[in-house]
Amino acid sequence: MVEKIRLSLWDIFSFFLTGFLATTVALVFFISFGVYPLEQFLGDLKHSPVAITLVAAPLAFTLMGMLIEPIANYVDREAVDKIYRILGQSLGFKIRRCSAETELLAEEIRMKYLGSLNGRIDDPYHLCKEYVETKQLSTTFMVFLSRYGFYRNCAFIALASTIPLVLLLQRSWATLLGVIALLFAALLFKARSEEFYSYMAPAVYRAFLIDKLDWKGDAKPSAQPDDHASHGPR
């Protein structure tokens, strides 16, 4: 049964690594503020069965990531993305925009392959993405999608970490510096996620067009031998 389990890059980056990062951050807080002393943690880790740890830990990290991902997605859509567009632009971070190549590829797909849907569907991205995934034409966009999800989750974890930091340290310069550092880290993670997001649409469009273009039709016809020349002079 175990060998039939298939993991995608999205599962690894957006679920497993996100859960691992969130658990590590929580553990750092617990150890730093004496909630879970380091000696006790090392002792518990030493006495835990290796076989159970190797199975239970990845499963726990994945489940943690699955809980965090929809929350991070909602917070990013409703708050972080809007704040980033204001602060990020003033700080010189990359803002999500369609490149000229993306618009060119999308227009080519609208004009030649959407048929009666042309003009009724503004963005062919999701349709092309389903086509590429169904026919398993390319995994390049999945690499970008998984990294986008991971860095978006990292931005959420950095923002969420400011809450226990403020509650535990209360009012101090260390709290202020820590909050500023975490907010800046969240901006960096968000900028990184935006970069990978901008790569997805061109990758999907390229895979779609590579499959649809008639490469044989574009080849030049081979020269036919001249009958008179082949028979020679009579």
pLDDT of residue 98: 67
pLDDT of residue 46: 86
Q: pLDDT truncated to tens, each residue of the chain (234 aa)?
A: 444 556 788 899 999 999 999 999 999 989 988 888 889 988 888 888 887 788 899 999 999 999 999 999 999 999 888 888 777 766 666 666 667 888 888 888 988 888 888 778 778 898 999 999 888 887 788 899 999 999 999 999 999 999 988 887 776 788 889 899 999 999 999 999 988 988 999 999 999 999 888 666 554 444 455 554 444 444
Q: Phi and psi for 184 in degrees, rounded to 5? A: -65, -40
pLDDT of residue 215: 64
pLDDT of residue 219: 46
Rounded CA separation 85/77 (Å): 12
pLDDT of residue 159: 94
Rounded CA separation 136/186 (Å): 34
If one counts every other C-beta atom within 10 angstroms of the C-beta of residue 18, the result is 28
pLDDT of residue 6: 65
CA nearest neighbour of 186 among 34, 5, 25: 25
Query: Measured at the alpha carbon of residue 68, what is the angle toward residues 183 and 200, in degrees to the nearest 5?
Result: 80
pLDDT of residue 216: 62
Render pLDDT for 20-30 as a digit per residue (tens, 0 to 9): 999 999 999 89
Which strand (E) or helix (H) includes residue 13? none
Q: First and final CA of the chain: distance in angstroms? A: 78
pLDDT of residue 233: 46
Render pLDDT for 58-105 as a digit per residue (tens, 0 to 9): 999 999 999 999 999 999 999 888 888 777 766 666 666 667 888 888
pLDDT of residue 222: 47
pLDDT of residue 234: 42
Give this prediction's pTM.
0.80
